[in-house]
């Protein structure tokens, strides 16, 4: 029960009970609530200053997690940049020189994403410098990756072209390695049959009649027959890239004009048709219409087994080769 308050009445010299007016009561209630609100605000301010608000704490945790993710992304970007740098170095030191392609300039390989204006939306935040730096590195990495991807496509295309060219160029002997090499590319003072001086533009391989003759490179047969030019039965193959090969004095041939052949494919049998002093194969190479020395394109260091292995042909018995 609230205590009653008394005051002395000077006129009557009596103690009278003091009663507050409603305005005084209202003022006191207002003061009470005001002081309470003030003390609450002070308490909240001190608590938040010392411990932080729950919402602020959650935001700080998320900010810390985001910063950690950016740091991990930055590390992965650096690792990938190193991998790309190693790939580029291999490109420039190995693949491009071998395939006769120009080197990728370092300035071009490093890429570049321009200025930082495009990242103005990331400014003004905590760790803005981290976000902008990481995004710049990521853009550079994407540019370098595209450059390297295009480089690999170029290398692949060039390598495929080289492989196709290699499959077509006449780089192997037209007969088995056991067949000896005969008269070569030189000027003859006296033709063995005609008895006059003239150039011998091919390479002879003395061998028994019926010895298998192989295409020395892939190409298209542009002639198979006898046109009376002294080579007797002959085959001419156009290998592309400016190369043609001629196989003369054949006893038989098993290809026809317009047919596509591959290296190592049997195209005929040796013989002595046409102007010939004995059984042999006349083998001739032309580059852009000019005869070249076939020995420059042949290797006599291979064994018979290696020869057929390169051609993709199984070694057969002497009887089956004829």
CATH number of the structural domain spanning residue 250: 2.70.70.10
- For residue 300, is it within any domain? yes
- For tokens 């395939």, name the residue: 99
- For residue 177, is it within any domain? no
146 and 255 part of one domain: no
Structure tokens at 164: 């196709």
Q: Over the stretch 273-304, which tens digit does the pLDDT of each residue have?
A: 998 888 999 999 999 999 999 988 887 667 77
- For residue 178, is it within any domain? no
In this prediction, residue 262 carries a pLDDT of 93
46 and 60 part of one domain: no
11 and 100 part of one domain: no
Number of domains present in the structure of the chain:
3
How far apart CA 238 and CA 252 sit, in angstroms, is: 20
pLDDT band at 192 (very low <50, low <70, confident <90, very high): low
- For residue 257, is it within any domain? yes
47 and 58 part of one domain: no
59 and 46 part of one domain: no
232 and 268 part of one domain: yes
Residue 40: give the domain boundaries. 6-51
69 and 40 part of one domain: no
User: Which residue, among 59, 73, 79, 66, has the nearest Cα to 133 in the 3D structure?
Assistant: 73
Q: Over the stretch 194-253, which tens digit does the pLDDT of each residue have?
A: 555 566 788 999 999 999 999 999 999 999 999 988 899 999 999 999 999 999 999 999
- For residue 174, is it within any domain? no
66 and 160 part of one domain: yes
Between these two residues, 110 and 162, which has the higher pLDDT value?
A: 162
Q: List alpha helices for 169-261, DSSP H.
A: none
- For residue 195, is it within any domain? yes
Structure tokens at 204: 């002879």
142 and 249 part of one domain: no
- For residue 81, is it within any domain? yes
38 and 71 part of one domain: no
- For residue 320, is it within any domain? no
User: What 3 state SS string does 251-317 have?
Assistant: EEECCCCCCEECCCCEEEEEECCCCCCCCEEEEEEEECCEEECHHHHCCCCCCHHHHHHHHCCCCCC
Is the pTM higher than 0.75? no
119 and 156 part of one domain: yes
203 and 237 part of one domain: yes
User: Which residue, among 26, 33, 29, 5, has the nearest Cα to 17 in the 3D structure?
Assistant: 5
């Amino acid at each position: 029960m609230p205590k009653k308050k008394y005051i002395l009445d000077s006129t009557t010299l009596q103690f009278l009970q003091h009663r507050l007016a409603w305005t005084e009561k209202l003022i006191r209630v207002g003061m009470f609530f005001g002081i309470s609100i003030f003390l609450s605000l002070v308490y909240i301010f001190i608590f938040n200053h010392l411990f932080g608000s729950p919402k602020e704490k959650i935001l700080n945790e998320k900010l810390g997690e985001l910063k950690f993710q950016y740091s991990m992304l930055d590390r992965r970007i650096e690792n990938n940049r190193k991998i790309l740098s190693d790939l580029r170095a291999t490109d420039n030191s190995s693949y491009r020189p071998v395939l006769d392609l120009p080197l990728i300039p370092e300035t071009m390989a490093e890429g570049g994403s321009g200025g930082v204006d495009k990242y103005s939306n990331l400014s003004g935040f905590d760790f803005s410098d981290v976000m902008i730096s990481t995004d710049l590195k990521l853009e550079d990495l994407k540019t370098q990756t595209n450059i390297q991807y295009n480089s690999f496509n170029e290398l692949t295309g060039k390598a495929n072209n080289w492989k196709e060219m290699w499959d077509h160029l006449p780089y192997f002997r037209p007969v088995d390695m056991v067949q000896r090499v005969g008269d070569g590319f030189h000027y003859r003072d006296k033709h063995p049959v005609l008895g006059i001086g003239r150039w011998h533009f091919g390479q002879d391989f003395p061998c028994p009649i019926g010895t298998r003759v192989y295409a020395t490179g892939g190409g298209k047969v542009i002639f198979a027959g006898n046109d009376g030019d002294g080579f007797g039965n002959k085959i001419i193959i156009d290998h592309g890239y400016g190369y043609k090969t001629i196989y003369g004095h054949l006893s038989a041939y098993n290809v026809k004009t317009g047919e596509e052949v591959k290296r190592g494919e049997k195209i005929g049998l040796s013989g002595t048709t046409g102007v010939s002093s004995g059984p042999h194969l006349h083998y001739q190479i032309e580059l852009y219409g000019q005869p070249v020395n076939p020995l420059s394109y042949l290797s006599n260091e291979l064994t018979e087994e290696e020869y057929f292995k390169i051609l993709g042909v199984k070694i057969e018995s002497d009887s089956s080769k004829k």
